[in-house]
């Protein structure tokens, strides 16, 4: 009888050397979530990430490190010391992935650059995350997360256009870069299965931010300017269509967000639910009684609705929203076919019944953490282990050194170098943004992606600005 084997995480058996600082801590964390053994190699004083805020009030511990270090192992080596450097090279001979985020040239100065380590281990996927990439006129420029959000165009899109740009509440450039580095490393592992060889991945934090702009990059070409800022509710055509119900709206206990594609549904809801609620609350502008709502809805679907009537209708909707809580508006939106979502606070998320039902929040050591964002049907995600103490797993160095080195496997069919997903066929039935972006990423790396769409209901992503 064939013994039944327990399913293993997707990256079980993959060994990762993590030298990253706060520029790319997320890369190793994500690989650990997928089951890779991530050995965080730290200097004698520990990675700078251990001293990054915010900090716990009770014990002053770094909550950033508590999150970024989950699932990793920690060992100490002084790369400035020749003996430790030699041990690190021996570790690299047995690794599948190396992640580093030092300034360009630092690793070469230690004799630990890609060329040296590739010669020692041709199967190594060597990931470098830097502010502006390994080459180019800005490669040596100093940078912080905020300056990279600005350099990548993200900052300029946030806030009112007649005021200084507004940063996101918590720095994001390093998270974009870390996630991109992890994804690209997995893609490179797939290519290695075909070619038998690793490669050097040059990840620019600026370019990772630019990639996250998505459609915003098309506005200057088609409209002559950037899209309206995240805090700008005074946008005018051609950046947005006349009369669009712009994004955020206040409600009884905070804010909700409505997509611009919900205009027809909002119009349809006014005589059915909005006006009765306003009447019960004290009345409404009687000019609304003169509007032919079916005609206005049809005109809006044809992009021919008048601005005056739309303004009256949407002002009524805004007043209606202020009478309701976020939870009440979600129920109303479901019944009205309006694409609406709550602007959740952290407290809202912790109390969210959907996340609670899915068991999303997990106790990891003494703290509550977000769980995994994906659930593979056959391969479990890795156990969430608390971020390690400095040098907690020093013995893993000797354990690694007892393993055989990574030898070069012959390519599957001759010298196979090129697109990682060439030959992969993808049927894309996805909807709106996330799915098409994912399918595009697969196509970018050589997959043949066939997009299958409804003949009767257009994908909303085709209706979003900018317009040609």
Nearest C-alpha neighbor of 96 from the set 178, 186, 184, 15: 15
The pLDDT value recorded for residue 247 is 74
Q: Please, which pLDDT band fits residue 239 given cuts at 50, 70 and 90?
A: very low
Could you tell me where in the chain the CATH 3.40.50.10540 domains are found?
15-212+388-401
Q: What is the DSSP string of 31-50?
A: HHHTT-EEEEEE-TT--GGG
Are 47 and 129 a contacting pair, CB within 8 Å?
A: no
* 8-state DSSP, 450: E
Give the residue carrying structure tokens 């997009």. 451
pLDDT in tens, 163-175: 788 888 888 999 9
Q: What is the pLDDT of residue 10?
A: 96
* Residue 369's pLDDT band (cuts 50, 70, 90): very high
Contacts (Cβ under 8 Å, ≥6 apart) of 253: 325, 326
Are the C-beta atoms of 219 and 148 separated by less than 8 Å? no
Give residue 379's pLDDT.
93
CA–CA separation, 11 vs 32, rounded Å? Answer: 8
pLDDT in tens, 2-44: 566 789 999 999 999 999 999 999 999 999 999 999 999 999 9
pLDDT for res 241: 52
**Would you tell me the crossing angle of helices 293-301 and 307-321 to the nearest 10 degrees?**
110
Express each pLDDT in 316-367 by its tens digit: 999 999 999 999 999 999 999 998 999 999 999 999 999 999 999 999 999 9
**pLDDT for residue 132:** 98
Distances in whole angstroms, Cα of residue 283 to Cα of each of 90, 174, 278, 286, 323:
77, 50, 5, 8, 13
CB 72 within 8 A of CB 42: no
Which pLDDT value is given to residue 229? 56
Whole-Å CA distances, 95 to 14, 34, 88, 167, 387: 8, 16, 10, 38, 21
Decide if 450 contacts 425 (C-beta within 8 A). Answer: yes
Q: What is the pLDDT of residue 238?
A: 45
What is the mean pLDDT of the segment spanning 149-157?
A: 90
pLDDT in tens, 80-128: 999 999 999 999 999 999 999 999 999 999 999 999 999 999 999 999 9
pLDDT at 242 over 60: no
Q: Degrees (nearest 5) of the Cα angle 439, 256, 311?
A: 100
CATH 3.30.700 fits 226-348, yes or no: no
Angle at CA 294, nearest 5°, toward 291 and 299?
A: 90
Tokens 């991530």, located at residue: 38
Note whether 267 and 248 are within 8 A (CB): no
Burial (CB count within 10 angstroms: exposed 0-12, middle 13-18, buried 19+), residue 95: buried
pLDDT at position 463 is 78
Query: How confident is the model over 137-153, as a mean pLDDT?
Result: 95
**Mean pLDDT rounded to a whole number for the chain:** 90
Cα separation, 127 vs 188, whole angstroms = 10
Q: Is the pLDDT of residue 417 over 70?
A: no
**Which tokens hold the place of 361?**
């929040």
Phi, psi at 205, each rounded to 5°? -65, -40
Residue-wise burial string across 247-267, b where 16 or more C-beta atoms lie within 10 A, e elsewhere: bebebeeeebebbbbbbbbbb
390 by DSSP, 3-state: which?
A: coil
CATH 3.40.50.720 assigned to 15-212+388-401: no
Q: Distance (Å, rounded) from C-alpha 350 to C-alpha 360?
A: 10
How remote is the C-alpha of 428 from its chain's centroid? 20
200, with CB counted inside 10 A (0-12, 13-18, 19+), is middle
Mean pLDDT within 177-181? 98
Peptide bond into 297 cis (omega under 30): no
Write out the H or E segment, with its range, that includes residue 251.
strand 248-251
Query: Closest by alpha carbon to 169, among 149, 193, 199?
Result: 149
Rounded CA gap, 390 and 375, in Å?
31
Q: Which residue has the higher pLDDT, 237 or 194?
A: 194
CA dist 211 and 180 (Å) reads: 10
What percent of the chain lies above the pLDDT cut of 90?
Answer: 72
Distance CA 79, CA 83 (A): 8
- Residue 376's alpha-carbon distances to 33, 204, 353, in angstroms, are 12, 30, 22
Q: Give the pLDDT of residue 273.
A: 95
pLDDT in tens, 386-408: 999 999 999 999 999 999 998 76
CB 18 within 8 A of CB 39: yes
Strands 248-251 and 254-258 turn out to be antiparallel
**Pick from 34-38, 235-239, 332-336, 418-422: least confident:** 235-239
Backbone dihedral angles phi then psi of residue 316, each to the nearest 5 degrees: -65, -40
Find tokens 């380590």 and name the residue: 117
Using CA atoms of 459, 462, 463, 466 in order, give the dihedral in degrees to the nearest 10. Answer: 160
187-206: per-residue pLDDT in tens? 999 999 888 999 999 999 99
Please determine, for residue 231, whether its predicted confidence score (pLDDT) is greater than 90.
no
- Residue 295 confidence (pLDDT) above 90: yes
- 341/257 Cα distance (integer angstroms): 5
Q: Is the pLDDT of residue 237 over 70?
A: no
E strand or H helix at 15: strand 15-18
């Amino acid at each position: 009888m064939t013994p039944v084997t327990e399913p293993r995480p997707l990256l079980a058996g993959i060994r990762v050397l993590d030298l990253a600082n706060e520029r790319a801590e997320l890369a190793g964390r994500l690989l650990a979530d997928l089951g890779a053994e991530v050995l965080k190699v730290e200097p004698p004083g520990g990675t700078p990430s251990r001293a990054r805020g915010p900090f716990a009030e009770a014990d002053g511990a770094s909550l950033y490190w508590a999150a970024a270090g989950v699932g990793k192992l920690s060992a100490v080596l002084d790369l400035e010391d020749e003996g430790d450097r030699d041990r690190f090279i021996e570790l690299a001979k047995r690794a599948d992935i190396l992640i580093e985020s030092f300034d360009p040239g630092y690793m070469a100065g230690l004799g630990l650059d890609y060329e040296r380590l590739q010669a020692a281990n041709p199967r190594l996927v060597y990931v470098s995350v830097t502010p502006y990439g390994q080459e180019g006129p800005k490669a040596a420029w100093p940078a912080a997360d905020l300056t990279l959000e600005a350099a990548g165009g993200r900052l300029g899109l946030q806030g009112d256009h007649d005021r200084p740009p507004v940063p996101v509440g918590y720095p994001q450039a390093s998270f974009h870069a870390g996630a991109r580095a992890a994804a690209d490393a997995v893609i490179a592992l797939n290519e290695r299965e075909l070619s038998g060889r690793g490669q050097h991945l040059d990840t620019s934090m600026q370019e990772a931010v630019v990639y996250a702009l998505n459609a915003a990059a098309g506005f200057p070409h088609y409209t002559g300017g950037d899209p309206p800022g995240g805090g700008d509710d005074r946008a005018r055509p051609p950046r947005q269509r006349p009369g669009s119900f712009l994004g955020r709206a206040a409600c009884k206990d905070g804010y909700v967000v409505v997509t611009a594609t919900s205009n027809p549904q909002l119009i349809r809801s006014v005589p059915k639910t909005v006006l009765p609620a306003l009447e019960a609350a004290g009345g409404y502008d009687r000019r609304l009684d003169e509007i032919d709502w079916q005609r206005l809805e049809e005109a809006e679907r044809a992009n021919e609705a008048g601005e005056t009537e739309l303004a009256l209708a949407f002002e009524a909707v805004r007043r209606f929203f202020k009478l309701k809580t976020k939870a009440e508006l979600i129920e109303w939106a479901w019944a009205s076919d309006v694409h609406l979502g709550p602007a959740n606070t952290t407290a809202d998320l912790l109390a969210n019944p959907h996340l609670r039902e899915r068991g999303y929040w997990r106790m990891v050591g003494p703290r509550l953490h977000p769980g995994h964002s994906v659930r593979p049907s056959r391969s479990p995600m890795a156990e969430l282990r608390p971020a390690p103490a400095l040098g907690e797993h020093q013995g893993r160095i000797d354990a690694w050194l007892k393993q055989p080195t990574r030898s070069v496997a012959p390519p599957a069919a001759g010298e196979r170098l090129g697109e990682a997903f060439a030959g992969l066929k993808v049927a894309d039935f996805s909807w709106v943004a996330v799915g098409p972006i994912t399918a595009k990423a697969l196509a970018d790396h050589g997959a043949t992606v066939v997009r299958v769409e409804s003949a009767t209901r257009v994908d909303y992503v085709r209706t979003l600005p900018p317009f040609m």
